[in-house]
Structure 1
């Protein structure tokens, strides 16, 4: 489980592309590497990956074909920088929201409006997911837990404070980039349950 509070940004140093499986080599230093064990879970741009091997500062993670199809990791290249969060531990302060690291879809950055103090990002996404994205709700965007602002039929907006802008890659990616989106699981469960109940009542 994760909180959506990005701990660091780390570079990709290698990508070994095998049949339906990519192995990412990531350079982890400092607290990212401390007490990191084989099999541990680490979120990369919000995607939960498992430590497969370690070699000094390089940590290797396997990415399955299904994950590559759903997320923006398939668009990554060596030297790209990813948002990283280690799995939460019991007793840690939860400053964001409880996340699973399971990405629902990607959204495309279609507009950015920056000022000296904040930045507004507008994303477009498949309209079928918009029922789970509500004003003042939250979503994890490339691993960072953010409050949703304005919402349209196939788009939504978030605002970034200076801290988020400096500690993540969210405000440095070019327009038309794909961002990983994890929706609020509780919102999804409520919406799906209400839809199912209404459908059952309609069939009576």
Structure 2
């Protein structure tokens, strides 16, 4: 499990691709890989991956074709920055909301607004997933737990403070980029339960 509090920005050092599988070498900042063991879980842009090898601050992860297809990991390039969070431990403070690291869908950055001292990001999400997105609800974007602002059709926004921009890759995000989305599990449970009772349309296929 993860908390949605991004612990820093890592860098993709290398990607080795073979049929149906990619191995990522991702370098974490100094002193953030201490105590990592083979088999540990780390969220990379919100996607839970398993450590297969370690060399200093560089961790290696394997991603299957399904993961590459359903998330933005298949679009990563060497030198690219990513958000990371190591798995939560019992007793850790839950500053965001509990996440599984299982990405539900991707969204596109539709618009970036820069009022004084903050940034507002608008995202477009596939229509079937709008049913889980509510104003003031929780959502995870590239592994960061955020509060939803406004919702308009299949678009929603989030408001980011300078600290969030500094500590995550949102500081360099651009329009047209895709991001990983994990919806709040409690929201999904409530909405799907109401749907089964006939109060809403069916859940997205494969949810």
TM-score by length of structure 2 reads 0.94
Does residue 127 of structure 1 match 2:127? yes
Most deviating of 168-177 and 102-111:
168-177
CA shift for structure 1 position 152: 1.3
2:37 pairs with 1:37: yes
Match of residue 101 from structure 1: 101
SS of structure 2 residue aligned to 1:170: helix
Residue of structure 2 equivalent to 1:52: 52
CA distance in 1, matches of 2:104, 2:29: 29
1:191 match: 191
Once the two structures are superposed, the pairs formed by residues 6-155 of structure 1 within 5 Å of their partners are 6-155=6-155
Equivalent residue runs for 1:156-195 within 5 Å: 156-195=156-195
Deviation string for 1:56-113 (max 9, x for gaps)?
2321000111111111111110000000000001111111100000000000001000
CA contact (8 A) 1:53 1:61 kept: yes
Give the deviation of 1:22 after TM superposition: 0.3
- Separation in structure 1 between the aligned mates of residue 28 and residue 166 of structure 2, nearest angstrom: 19
- SS for the counterpart of 2:6 is coil
* Paired residue total: 199
* Rounded Cα–Cα distance in structure 1 between residues aligned with 2:10 and 2:161: 21
- Does the CA-based 8 Å contact 2:112-2:174 persist in structure 1? no
What TM-score do you get using the length of structure 1 for normalisation? 0.95
In 2: Cα distance, 1:151 partner to 1:106 partner: 17
CA distance in 2, matches of 1:2, 1:86: 7
Structure 1: distance between partners of 2:118 and 2:21 = 38
Deviation, 1:198, is 1.4
Query: Could you say which residue in structure 2 is the equivalent of 1:202?
Result: none
CA contact (8 A) 1:42 1:86 kept: yes
SS in 1 for 2:150: strand
How far is the alpha carbon of 1:171 from its aligned partner?
3.2
Aligned match of 2:204: none
| Corresponding residue for residue 5 of structure 1 | 5
Q: Say if 1:136 and 1:147, in contact at 8 Å, map to a contact too.
A: yes
Distance across 1 between alignment mates of 2:58 and 2:93: 28
Question: Unpaired runs of 5+ in structure 2?
Answer: 200-207
Moved over 3 A (4+): none
**Contact persistence 1:142–1:170 (CA under 8 A):** no
For the aligned residue pairs, the C-alpha RMSD in angstroms reads: 1.0
How far does residue 151 in structure 1 lie from its aligned partner after superposition? 0.2
Name structure 1 gaps, 5 residues minimum.
200-204
